[in-house]
Amino acid sequence: QKEVEQDPGPLSVPEGAIVSLNCTYSNSAFQYFMWYRQYSRKGPELLMYTYSSGNKEDGRFTAQVDKSSKYISLFIRDSQPSDSATYLCAMNRGSYIPTFGRGTSLIVHP
């Protein structure tokens, strides 16, 4: 079993939909949680990070962490075709080296 599990998708939604992306993890030592966006043939780009249970909002994006369930989510409101990308969750133990999920491919169609 991998330390970080993430459904690869693809997840296809219509423009304007609310998107929910999720990861589960097995290591309770993980303290910091991140979401990256990766467009095709590009490197990952950090979207959000959080280190506590609860919600963190940034524009159309909300990151949610539930440490008791070892479950994190990223919500995207009013999704746009430009949001079409692979979304990677990542987490670390307080060192600098994150463990990544395999990524979920999101397709937002007009």
Which residues bind to another protein, rule: CB under 8 A?
Answer: 4, 6, 8, 31-32, 34, 41-46, 49, 51, 88, 90, 92, 94-103
Please name which of 89, 60, 61, 62 lies closest in space to residue 2, comparing C-alpha atoms: 89
Residue found by looking up tokens 């467009």 in the block: 39
Considering the complex, state which of residue 7 and residue 17 has its C-beta at the smaller distance from another protein: 7
Q: How far is the CB of 1 from another protein (least distance, A)?
A: 15
Question: Which tokens belong to 85?
Answer: 């990308």
Query: Cα–Cα distance between 29 and 38 in angstroms, integer?
Result: 26
Pairing of strands 104-109, 11-14: parallel
Q: How far is the CB of 11 from another protein (least distance, A)?
A: 14
Considering the complex, state which of residue 42 and residue 77 has its C-beta at the smaller distance from another protein: 42
Q: How far is the CB of 90 from another protein (least distance, A)?
A: 7
